[in-house]
Structure 1
Amino acid sequence: MTEPSDSTSDKITRRVAVAVIGAGTAGQNAFRQASKTTKNIVIINDGFWTTVCATVGCMPSKLLIAAANRAHEAKYSDQFGIHADVKIDGKQVMARVQAERNHFANSVKKQVEGWPADKKISGRAHINKDGLIEVNDELIKADKIIVATGSSPFIPDGWTNKLGNALLTSDNVFELSDLPISMAVIGAGSVGLELAQAFTRLGVSVTLFNRANRVGGLQDEDINKKAIDCLGNDLTMHLNSEIKDVGTQIDKDKNLAAFVKYKDKNGKEGQWQGEYVLVATGRRNNIEPLGIENLGVELDDKNRPKDLNINTGQIGDLEVYIVGDANAHIPLLHVASDEGFSAGSSVYPNNTDANIRPPSIPLSIVFCEPQIANVGMSLPEVQKSGLEYVIGSVSFDNQGRSRVMGVNCGLLHIYGCKKTDKILGASMVGPDAEYIAHILAVAITNDICIKALLDTPFYHPTILEGLRTALRDVQDKMAIPYQSYDTQQDGF
């Protein structure tokens, strides 16, 4: 880092060994770990001292989804001979989301409040040309800097002004005091898909738009097609559509309404009109305004830091570490947690490599119904690897326990390596995908071969028996099929 000039040095108000900028999941973990090796540390944060997950992300969205799934099960149990009239109290739904969200956020906040007051600074940090941190009235010289400034929802240019109060993002949608009447959701990634289905199941008239014919980030075309088929049962989707314009206008009842003008997959122009537009077009890292270039850090055309050590977050040989969503590597909570831990453990050489957590294998889950999960290598990555592989498959449409539960829609693909009998990756849409994905993640992480997985018990009747069927299909397509005494499909 650049050494400050003599004139600037006289103005320095604080000298620290480590400065952590950002107090989300990655920043908090980095601060805790670095504090074990030095007390000369400070953490600087602009905004709430909780985490995106607890405050505006994972937890409030799952609370909304929980309410939505209860409503859906109550309304659509006719096949079981159960008939009910369901009344949804939108204000009560949102009140519970906010109350429980606050419970989770306050738990995080309470931990932060236990940190020494002189180690915390509330304010927006900027790194000046001398590599010093400017925040409030302070000028801080840090030997090592850990950047964990997180990310923010991406909003296309001009949309904020055009939509005004009709614009929602994942940062403010959970502040609604009542369920809206109608909503357009732009973007069918994990956030857009989860919220679109949840609001639909809670009685909101929702239309989901996406520029690609793809949902949940799926890269296996067969799984993607199946997901669209399953989700289309209760979700109105305009996929492969181009948004031409958004804005507000006076409707026929002389009320201000939002609109979305689009061109559909057939090239036909259409217009949606309703109460809110929820923009879920991804998130962007909060790094560009920080002045990170003054530390010698170079960014690529997508604002991702170059020379990033994915094990520690360190940038080249600089005393700078960029972790969590700020590095735009893999913007997931468990990844941010591990990266913060590793960076905080790496700032001093007396920390051993045992404290550095290696990157975990890719694992992502979308909590729609049915769930979407991806683990390990994607199908395009497998195809590009040059490895000889097979695809084991199982449909959940007629899988025993899935049919019993009335959740029988889904498809699982497992990509197996013919040379090693190991799992390279998997993709699925279906019931209990979150659990199946974790089992596969454990297998990949620990190099467990497919034969060893098939030697473990699968209890009957469970949805997880579908995993066994897919593993058997992989094994049957290998050079030497696995011989099992139980040849029944899912044990029925």
Structure 2
Amino acid sequence: MNKQSGTTADNTPHEVTRNVSVAVIGAGTAGQNSFRQASKIKDDVVIINEGFWTTTCVAVGCMPSKLLIAAADRAHDANHSGDFGVHATVKIDGKQVMQRVRDERSHFASYIKKQVDSWPDHKKIDGRAHINEQGLIEVNDELIAAEQIIVATGSSPFIPDGWADKLGDTMLTSDSVFELTDLPNSMAVVGAGAIGLELAQAFTRLGVEVTLLNRVKQVAGLKDNDINQKAIECLSHELTMHLGSKITDVGQKVNKDTQTAFIEYEDSAGESRQWQGDCVLVATGRRNNIKQLGVEHLGVELDDKNRPKNLSKKTGQIGDSDIYIVGDANAHIPLLHVASDEGYSAGNMVCENTEDAYIRPPATPFSIVFCSPQIVNVGMSLPEIQEDPELEFVIGRVSFDNQGRSRVMGVNCGLLHIYACKKTDRILGASMVGPDAEYIGHILATAITNDLSIKDMLDTPFYHPTILEGLRTALRDVQDKMEIPYQSQDAQEDNF
């Protein structure tokens, strides 16, 4: 790949301006980890980035969304404390809410900025990279030949064709919503994945009239039908949801100085309906930023969803080539901790002694949706288990509707399923909607990662009274069912 000349985008011959051992394209979580690790061994490493030199998590993802949720939860608790005999009147200052989100976001970003500022200036290139037909990297007025390339260009919100033009300024995405200077009066959220659920509920709790629409009768991508139905039940207590709706048109109506967004859709019964309000938050997922980069000139093949083929899930390496695609750019598992591990591993792999390089193994699959109640998936999904004819499994179950501490706290809506292998007495996976799900999920992920048996889990202490005691109930249910075949949900209902 170490070419000495090439052709720029306008077909003008140009000499290589810089030869490097490693070029990292993208400065998000995966890119920064790759750069730091590679720089420990090699001096001639460069990192190229367009836009902000921080991470999706800090700028438009995990942290600002959790800041908004934190404000929303305080408002919700105050507004719903009457059952405890505590009566309060809440005044929500939308401008202050959104200002705190941005102020705290800037605080978190300052730590990343300090780190990036510490890197040598000659190793940082601010600009849009493109890989030309010769496999050289064009950026600004440079033409860079790299022996190894790590692509970490992240992802962007997916916008259905034509929506941006039709909705104009009334359209929001997860990248722009945190720039609101005040809370709108009304909002439609399109998409009931993690982003859509979290933001729809947060804005609802902050007094915004929110309508959530989703194409299928599913939330958070849940694959266990019983958990999905329970999640819908719990969330419907405060969220207006139209699931199974087909959007037929979107747009805006301009009346003097005001703009009103509208959505025309068919509901789950096939009836034509229209929503109107201040803005539409499009939360239809994210797509990797790789299509326009020119990775095909490096021999990288993409599938119909722009995901690289022949990808190592440990390191992001493409086959046995010198190309690594990590983080959200590979669209494998677009989560920060996965991007971090992939970037770390790729940064080690580009060093000479790859046999001794420390490669972080793929983490146990683990996802959390920070709505209330929280939604968690760990390990194998129920369909994955059912598709494997070699697996004999049972499902341990606990409802949180009448679980002691959950009822005490007034958060008693939820359901946990633990999928366990009869032959090995090990946990295969779990799915849950309920209180303290993030902590229960971590315990289950630790158990799977460390190959703990059901007995090992039950031998550990469970303090009383805690919500975590619900986990013990589900584990005991697994143990009780180990000697009997898995039956349908209906057949087990009498156990609870």
TM-score, length basis structure 1: 0.96
Aligned counterpart in structure 2 of residue 110 of structure 1, from 106, 110, 114: 114
Shift of 1:353: 4.5
Aligned counterpart in structure 1 of residue 100 of structure 2, from 96, 99, 109: 96
Shift of 1:110: 1.1
2:431 matched to 1:427? yes
TM-score, length basis structure 2: 0.95
Is residue 157–residue 285 contact of structure 2 (8 Å, CA) maintained in 1? Answer: yes
Aligned counterpart in structure 2 of residue 76 of structure 1, from 76, 80, 83: 80
Q: Partners in 2 of 1:256 and 1:41 — Cα distance?
A: 49
Aligned counterpart in structure 1 of residue 392 of structure 2, from 388, 393, 401: 388
1:3-402 correspondence runs (5 A): 3=3, 11-250=15-254, 255-353=258-356, 355-386=358-389, 387-402=391-406
Is residue 64–residue 93 contact of structure 1 (8 Å, CA) maintained in 2? Answer: yes
What is the letter of the counterpart of residue 330 of structure 1?
Answer: I
Shift of 1:109: 1.1
Is residue 163–residue 246 contact of structure 1 (8 Å, CA) maintained in 2? Answer: yes
What is the letter of the counterpart of residue 98 of structure 1?
Answer: R
Change (3 A) 1:480 1:447: farther
- Identity rate of aligned residues, in percent? 73
SS of 1:260 mapped into structure 2:
strand
What is the letter of the counterpart of residue 125 of structure 1?
Answer: A
The alignment covers a number of residue pairs equal to 480
Q: Partners in 1 of 2:419 and 2:235 — Cα distance?
A: 24
Shift of 1:250: 3.8
Is residue 6–residue 15 contact of structure 2 (8 Å, CA) maintained in 1? Answer: no
Change (3 A) 1:470 1:23: same
Q: Deviations over 1:9-61 (max 9, x none)?
A: 97110000000000000000000000011011100000000000001100000
SS of 2:273 mapped into structure 1:
strand
Is residue 26–residue 49 contact of structure 2 (8 Å, CA) maintained in 1? Answer: yes
Q: Which residue of 1 aligns with 2:472?
A: 468
RMSD over aligned Cα atoms: 1.5
Q: Which residue of 2 aligns with 1:485?
A: none
Larger deviation, residues 472-481 vs 54-63: 472-481
Is residue 2–residue 130 contact of structure 1 (8 Å, CA) maintained in 2? Answer: no
Q: Which residue of 2 aligns with 1:490?
A: none
Is residue 4–residue 130 contact of structure 1 (8 Å, CA) maintained in 2? Answer: no
What is the letter of the counterpart of residue 106 of structure 2?
Answer: N
Q: Which residue of 1 aligns with 2:461?
A: 457
Larger deviation, residues 331-340 vs 471-480: 471-480
Shift of 1:97: 0.5
Is residue 436–residue 467 contact of structure 2 (8 Å, CA) maintained in 1? Answer: yes
SS of 2:387 mapped into structure 1:
helix
Is residue 250–residue 263 contact of structure 2 (8 Å, CA) maintained in 1? Answer: yes
Q: Which residue of 1 aligns with 2:413?
A: 409
Change (3 A) 1:323 1:197: same
1:434-449 correspondence runs (5 A): 434-449=438-453
Q: Partners in 2 of 1:121 and 1:389 — Cα distance?
A: 53
Q: Which residue of 1 aligns with 2:491?
A: none
Shift of 1:479: 2.3
Shift of 1:194: 0.1
Q: Partners in 1 of 2:7 and 2:348 — Cα distance?
A: 34
Shift of 1:331: 0.3
SS of 1:237 mapped into structure 2:
strand
Is residue 423–residue 443 contact of structure 1 (8 Å, CA) maintained in 2? Answer: yes
Q: Deviations over 1:175-196 (max 9, x none)?
A: 0000110000000000000000
Q: Partners in 1 of 2:257 and 2:181 — Cα distance?
A: 23
What is the letter of the counterpart of residue 253 of structure 2?
Answer: Q
Is residue 168–residue 276 contact of structure 1 (8 Å, CA) maintained in 2? Answer: yes
Change (3 A) 1:351 1:318: closer
Q: Deviations over 1:84-135 (max 9, x none)?
A: 1110000010010010011111111111111011000000000001100000
Is residue 182–residue 274 contact of structure 1 (8 Å, CA) maintained in 2? Answer: yes
Q: Partners in 2 of 1:469 and 1:77 — Cα distance?
A: 29
Q: Deviations over 1:273-323 (max 9, x none)?
A: 000000000000000100000011111111011110111111012110000
What is the letter of the counterpart of residue 228 of structure 1?
Answer: I
Shift of 1:153: 0.1
Q: Deviations over 1:389-408 (max 9, x none)?
A: 00000000000000000000
Q: Give the gaps of 5 or more residues in structure 2.
A: 486-496
Q: Partners in 2 of 1:325 and 1:255 — Cα distance?
A: 37
SS of 1:289 mapped into structure 2:
coil
Shift of 1:351: 4.0
Q: Partners in 2 of 1:241 and 1:480 — Cα distance?
A: 40
SS of 1:106 mapped into structure 2:
helix
Shift of 1:3: 4.4
What is the letter of the counterpart of residue 79 of structure 1?
Answer: D
